[in-house]
Amino acid sequence: MTRNVFVIGLNDLNADRLRRLRGVGDVVFHPLLTPAQVSETQDFDIPAMLAEAEETLDAFDGSIDAIVGYIDFPVSTMLPLLCKKYGTPNASLESLLKCEHKFWSRKVMAEVIPDHIPKFTAFDPFDDDALSRIGEADLRFPFFVKPIKSSGSRLGFRIDSPEDFDYATQKLRAEIRSIGEPFDHVLAQADMPDDIRAVEGHYCMAEQVIGGRQCTVEGYVYNGEVVPYGTVDSIRYPQVLSFFYYLYPSTLPTRIQDTMNDITRRIMAHIGYDNAGFNIEYYWDEVSNKIWLLEINTRIAQSHCDLFEMVDGVSHQQVTIDLGLGRRPDMPQGEGPQNVAGEFFYRVFFNDATVSRVPSKAEIAVAEEQVDGTRISSYASRNSRLSELPEQDAYSFAVASVWMGASKQSKLLWNYEQVMKKLNYEFTDIVE
């Protein structure tokens, strides 16, 4: 009997990954909305997207056995609405928002893991007295600001002075409604406490600066059982906030990973999140031996799919599909061809520039051939501006990603250097 799984934003790369999963011989994967609609744009008309998705599902002549996604906003917030309507497994909207609404999330964390979260407060970036109100919440320079709902590291800023706050506020006022307004549409459909409902989609968070060695715990909840299954290190470029590469498996001490897994079980059980995948970003401050919880994401990390396939033998989309079909995930460990794997980000640290040259498809193929199993995605196009690239942090532009595996971490780094020698990007009209 064929089972039909609808995947929001399905593209060719992920369609290939899904076909390699375990136990999908009787599964047919169907695209629901296009990547251009949900991930290759910054214009999110959620009511229109929901209406189009429902029209597709209503017209389908067959069973609707699962509706899944592996993309952050807006996909993550549409899934509980669609799954509830069509009766397929997924976390409830309220439990999802207790993770994705950053102020609500911090309030819930404070109830059970107060020693692992920073000082925080919400503020309205359109309030001219916002900086004073942040000070009244006992937050002093430096602190970090970010939207209560963001995607990736977009519109996140470290604030060391009033001038930094003014600059961040200008950027937030100019861009935040592109996510804030569609997020408000989702919030309006949730059962929320009054103090949380007052913090609308365009609001922001101010938080005490935390840091240390950063990692991501990937996990899922199946029928109330919280299961962390892998930890990925997030390694930054020296002296900047931008990521250099993700490394799996983590090199953190086992006792630290065990403690993070325990914190993960406590907070996800308290939230009531169920029958869906998630990941939680942490810092371990080695000096103070302090573990900080940075944020909870209500999806598997798509960037980690190839890492799990290289090391464990299958993409952790296995978790997404199995849970979507209502079954316990069949996620192996250590059955892949590599001991370690990484995703590297080739970045440029300009304020902006015109991309005057990008590697051709043939050049990318040659670069991939330097190390067996390497995959490269180039994000920039010739004659475009770096500022036109979607989902970038505030400090750099990622123009390409490189996924590869190796027998050990040092070999992985050496392999990356060999591959990057074959890629040639050029830039003009550079704004320093």
Q: Tell me the H-state helices in 101-227.
A: 102-112, 130-136, 162-175, 177-187, 194-197
Structure tokens at 429: 């009209």
Strand 213-222 relative to strand 243-248, pairing = unpaired
Angle between helices 361-368 and 409-420 (to 10 degrees): 150
pLDDT at residue 241 above 90?
Answer: no
Q: What is the pLDDT of residue 430?
A: 92
Please compute the mean of the pLDDT values over residues 379-385 and round it to a whole number: 94
Q: What are the structural domains, with CATH classification, of the chain?
A: 3-96 (3.40.50), 119-208 (3.30.1490.20), 213-431 (3.30.470.20)
pLDDT at residue 427 above 70?
Answer: yes
- The label of the residue with tokens 């240390």 reads 212
Query: Is 343 within 8 Å of 416 (Cβ atoms)?
Result: no
Angle between helices 75-86 and 177-187 (to 10 degrees): 20
> How many CB atoms are closer than 10 A to CB 193?
9
**Closest to 391 in 3D by CA, of 29, 26, 38:** 38
Between CA 95 and CA 105 the distance in angstroms is 10
The pLDDT confidence band at residue 432, using thresholds 50, 70 and 90, is confident
Q: What is the pLDDT of residue 304?
A: 97
pLDDT at residue 404 above 90?
Answer: yes
What pLDDT, in 10s, does the model give residues 5-38? 999 999 999 999 999 999 999 999 999 999 999 9
Q: Is 291 left (phi over 0), alpha (psi -120 to 50) or beta?
A: beta
Query: Is 339 within 8 Å of 400 (Cβ atoms)?
Result: no
Please compute the mean of the pLDDT values over residues 86-113 and round it to a whole number: 98
Please compute the mean of the pLDDT values over residues 195-218 and round it to a whole number: 97
Between CA 244 and CA 274 the distance in angstroms is 32
The pLDDT confidence band at residue 152, using thresholds 50, 70 and 90, is low
Query: Is 2 within 8 Å of 26 (Cβ atoms)?
Result: yes
Q: Which amino acid is at 305?
A: C
**Closest to 304 in 3D by CA, of 276, 274, 326, 277:** 277
Secondary structure class of 363 (helix, strand, coil): helix
In percent, the amount of the chain with pLDDT more than 90 equals: 92
Please compute the mean of the pLDDT values over residues 253-270 and round it to a whole number: 98
Residues with Cβ within 8 Å of 47's Cβ and at least 6 positions away in sequence, in order, are: 185
Query: Is 398 within 8 Å of 345 (Cβ atoms)?
Result: yes
Please compute the mean of the pLDDT values over residues 299-327 and round it to a whole number: 97
Q: What is the pLDDT of residue 413?
A: 96
Average pLDDT, the chain: 95
Please compute the mean of the pLDDT values over residues 218-229 and round it to a whole number: 98
Q: What is the pLDDT of residue 128?
A: 97
pLDDT at residue 202 above 90?
Answer: yes
What pLDDT, in 10s, does the model give residues 52-89? 999 999 999 999 999 999 999 999 999 999 999 999 99
DSSP assignment letter at 326: T
Report the predicted TM-score, pTM, of the whole model to 2 decimal places: 0.94
Q: What is the pLDDT of residue 317?
A: 98
